[in-house]
Structure 1
Amino acid sequence: MRSRFRESPGRLHVPILSHLQVPPWRSQQFPPVFISKPDPQTVYVGKRAVMQCVIAGTAPLNVVWLKDNQALPKVPAHYQSSCEKNNFATLHIIKLEQDDAGLYECRVSNNVGSKSCQTAITLKG
């Protein structure tokens, strides 16, 4: 960058930049990262389970929940997932059944990369 600066008695001359650049951090993109991960849970059959991750990265962040390496079936009366403000990925299991025990995974991706974390649900009764 070039600037011009002149001195004159009694006057202040401010340098003028002849070339401006956007700082590199303004255009940098970041892959997903987990700020917090869901804890394993032991829950009674018939009760509700809630799993939540706090995530960060360049938007948009795409979130997918899996159980035992399989995509969850689209049954809104049983599984409800959301991603609030692009930071809080939540999975609600409305009324736990025996088949709900297992390993759950939250996969987050964007155009820079992907990340996943796992947790388990164990059932009582």
Structure 2
Amino acid sequence: ICSKSETVNALDDFSSTIRSDNPPVFTVKPDNQDVIPGTTVSFKAAFTGTAPLAVKWFREEKEIVTGSTCFIKKDASSSSLELHSVKPSDSAKYTCQVSNDAGKVDSTVVLFVKGAVLCHVCKPPVFVRKLEATKLVTSSDTIRLECRVTGSPEISFKWFKDEMEISPMASLEMVNCSVEDSGDFICVASSKAGNSSSLIEVQQTLFSWFPEFSDKHRILNRKAQ
């Protein structure tokens, strides 16, 4: 015959066996928003599920924490993310993630701040072919340096000579090269997805710099022959 305490313990064990946790389910999902710069944006979510429920917010794949420009509110069955004075650079995908021991659910929305360019499949610029390390030229030569890159969205270019910007074009042409055209040239390709650069050193040959030495060199060559 079982005692009363043994019966109670048996019932507790039975209850623990048949009880199962309920995974989280969204009852309210946050909405996409299209706003002007300077707006305060609030994404709100509500959910059910067996406690304790853990809530996280993400921008793209990076977790967000409360800071000077954002604030996260949480309680047992809801959460909100506030973004203050948003800028075009805040345009992105935002995700609310709720989890417990029984499972995990995500809800993702898009924030678009006017003036921004959203790119869901962006590829940073990549040089199809890097510039050659060194380019030798002689006086009065004409040379053309060209940036050949792939990527998206629209790519812009800048050329620098010895750290000074000289052109916004993809290619650079120099006519009647002189000593002043020697130096380090860098092409920088940029887009919303990133940037890449390639460097080439342009050098004038010794003979074009010193014509007298060039003539003497030719004379010495003739004597050697």
TM (normalized to structure 1)?
0.74
Task: Report the counterpart of residue 49 of structure 1 in structure 2.
Answer: 41
Task: Report the counterpart of residue 37 of structure 1 in structure 2.
Answer: 29
Q: Tell me how many residue pairs correspond in the alignment.
A: 105
Match for 1:62 among 54, 65, 75? Answer: 54
Task: Report the counterpart of residue 146 of structure 2 in structure 1.
Answer: none
Contact 2:91–2:110 (8 Å) recurs in 1? yes
Alignment of 1:1-125 (within 5 A): 21=11, 27-72=19-64, 74=65, 76-84=67-75, 86-125=76-115
Contact 2:88–2:112 (8 Å) recurs in 1? no
- Name the SS for the 1:54 alignment partner: strand
Bigger Rg, which one: 2
More helix by share: 2
- Name the SS for the 2:80 alignment partner: strand
Unaligned runs of 5+ residues in structure 2 are 1-6, 116-225
| Structure 1 residue 28: Cα displacement | 2.7
- Name the SS for the 2:89 alignment partner: helix
| Structure 1 residue 98: Cα displacement | 1.8
Q: Give per-residue Cα distances to partners, 1:12-45, cap 9 Å, x unaligned.
A: xxxxxxx674685983311111111011001111
- Name the SS for the 2:85 alignment partner: coil
| Structure 1 residue 97: Cα displacement | 1.5
Q: How many angstroms apart in 1 are the aligned matches of 2:83 and 2:15?
A: 43
Q: How many angstroms apart in 2 are the aligned matches of 1:123 and 1:81?
A: 20
Identity of aligned residues (%): 26
Unaligned runs of 5+ residues in structure 1 are 1-18
Q: How many angstroms apart in 1 are the aligned matches of 2:103 and 2:51?
A: 11
Q: How many angstroms apart in 2 are the aligned matches of 1:55 and 1:105?
A: 14
- AA in 1 matched with 2:28: S
4+ residue runs over 2 A deviation: 19-28
RMSD: 2.1
- AA in 2 matched with 1:64: K
TM (normalized to structure 2)?
0.43
Contact 2:88–2:114 (8 Å) recurs in 1? no
